A and B are shown apart, each in its own frame.
Chain A
Amino acid sequence: MADPNQSAPEGRDPHSGGPALSRRSFLKGAGGVAAAGGALSAQAQAQSAEAATAVQTMRGTVEVTLQINGQARTLRCEPRTTLLSALRDRLEPALTGAKQVCDIGSCGACTVIIDGKPAYSCLTLAVQCRGKEVTTVEGLGSPEAMSDVQEAFCAKDGMMCGFCTPGFVVATHAALDRNPEADLEELKYELSGNICRCGTYPHVFDAARAAQAARHDGGEGK
């Protein structure tokens, strides 16, 4: 057990770093925790691909080619660059359809499809997507030629502010691919990795159902 002084009220000392072990002293100061990280960053700038050993190492800034929306796109990034940041901040021209909202895999606004499966691009390293097929909302359709799901979102008003919408559109495509016959409860489950704040959900469900119905009537979806 901890020294009771550490957490008992009388042990509290408002002077951070003072001799008494106060609970508050366990607050890290803002910043400062990782000067090492900064140093590492400084020394790791040089691009490097070590000679063909059994272990390939990637460090600093590297050039990678990713298969995005059917095109080979080359960009410079770091091993730590997320796929989301690569799409939004590193590609020229950028693909900003995937949105950065939570940046920690809890909202779905950055959803893309990687090799046919839905993924949070904020929880995916760009360099780990080498050799994989990445599809973003831009790859599903354009305003001039929308996918069936995109058309259904427009027809059913499956959006308000629209910031969660690209993520929902991609997640809906993935959901209908996984479970084409999903009933309403199953749809809710398949869309439960995406969050909307405006409260658009009922119309998103309407859109998904409309796209399902259209696929039934018209055979294959677009």
Chain B
Amino acid sequence: MQPFELKTPASLEDAIKELPSERSYTAPQPIAGGQDILTVMKDDIEAPASLVEIGHLLSSEISEEPGGLTLGAGATIQDIADHEGVRSGFTALAEAAASVASPQIRSQGTLGGNLNQRPRCPYYRHSAVSCFKRGGNVCLAEFGFNKYAAILGGGPSYFSHPSDLATALMALGASVVIVGPEGERTVPIADYYVGPEEALDRETVLEAYEVVTKITVPRPASGARTTYYKFKERDSYDFALGAAAISLRVEAGTIAEARVVLGGVAPRPWHSPETEAALVGKPMNAETWKSAGEAAVADAVPLDMNGYKVHLVKGILHRALESLA
């Protein structure tokens, strides 16, 4: 890590004043749990001239109302995984939180940090290289080692988004509350993530001078069941090789409503209306799951080493849907 100044503001307003107008290699950045930003700095991907502490300014409260959940961006991932109301009413979110990293990371890492974490592409994380995501003009994964790369929505950069919580929250229709110099704004999480075709220096619409303060999640429709199925190459402490967050309402054996978001296969959490279309109106059985899997990967464009993900996504959807049957 390169030297930096640590700023400790007394209020969120003061914190925002310390944040820069634009992103750059040395532009100041906020720090809460630090579980991602410190790895980014250790890898010399970025060297902020200052870190602005916001952990003490963010709510870590998880409150449940009849209409849904409000989660402070400072809530730890472990708190989300353990929360009774989340576990019973928002299963996909609880399962996603429980699947994140390790006890140490879950205990220190925050919701806000998890949603805003940077890519895990081995090229991006390698201190010796430059690529699109690091201000260069090539995606080294495209023709290099791309076993972990995206099969959907890739290009010009092909990383796969690492956040479990983002995938689950998107299936649950959550919104992101953001505070900036002009005040507060709310962005549906479906619009929060931007792909590399839109921007290469970021993965979200969050500006460098803004902070995520809370997440709201509407309560799933009565009778809906949700799940987050994370598939890891290594069961112990790993990012998703592929994942599916599903919200499903089945009436008399027929799928009435479906929302499907895929994780680990695209540069952002990948909402898949094609999969939903293949499910709705169909009986809840293996044949339907199979056609849902095929619909999910119909537009997949695998690279040299990640063609297996086409089969993996089908398998993940089968296992995830099976768990909801």
Interface residues of chain A, those whose CB is within 8 Å of chain B, are 1-3, 6-7, 21, 23, 26-28, 30, 33-34, 36-37, 40-41, 44, 54-59, 78-80, 82, 103-106, 108, 111, 114, 117-120, 123-125, 127-128, 171, 174-175, 178, 188, 190-195
Contact = CB atoms under 8 A, between A and B. Distances in A.
B291 interface: no
B142 interface: yes
A123 B36 CA distance: 8
Interface in B126-158: 127-132, 136-140, 142-143, 155-156
B14 A55 contact: yes
Contacts of A2: 132, 137-139, 142, 156
Contacts, number: 161
Nearest to A8: B143
B148 to A, nearest CB: 15
B8 A41 contact: no
Contact of B105 (A171, A193, A195): A193
A117 B34 contact: no
A27 B38 contact: no
Nearest to A175: B103
A1 B5 contact: no
B204 interface: no
A81 B102 CA distance: 23
B7 interface: yes
Contacts of B138: 2, 6-7, 23, 26
Contacts of B26: 36
B213 to A, nearest CB: 18
Contact of B1 (A6, A30, A80): A80
B104 A125 contact: no
| Interface range on chain B (Cβ under 8 Å from partner) | 35 or more
Interface string B76-99: 101000000000000000000000
B44 A33 contact: yes
B208 interface: no
Contacts of B15: 55
B5 A79 contact: yes
A193 B104 contact: yes
Contacts of B236: 188, 192-193, 195
Contacts of A120: 35, 104-105, 108
B53 interface: yes
Contacts of B129: 26-28
B303 to A, nearest CB: 12
28 contacts: A2-B132, A2-B142, A7-B142, A26-B130, A26-B137, A26-B138, A26-B140, A40-B3, A54-B9, A54-B10, A54-B14, A55-B8, A55-B10, A55-B15, A58-B6, A80-B4, A105-B35, A114-B108, A117-B76, A117-B78, A117-B107, A120-B104, A120-B105, A125-B6, A171-B104, A191-B103, A193-B104, A193-B105
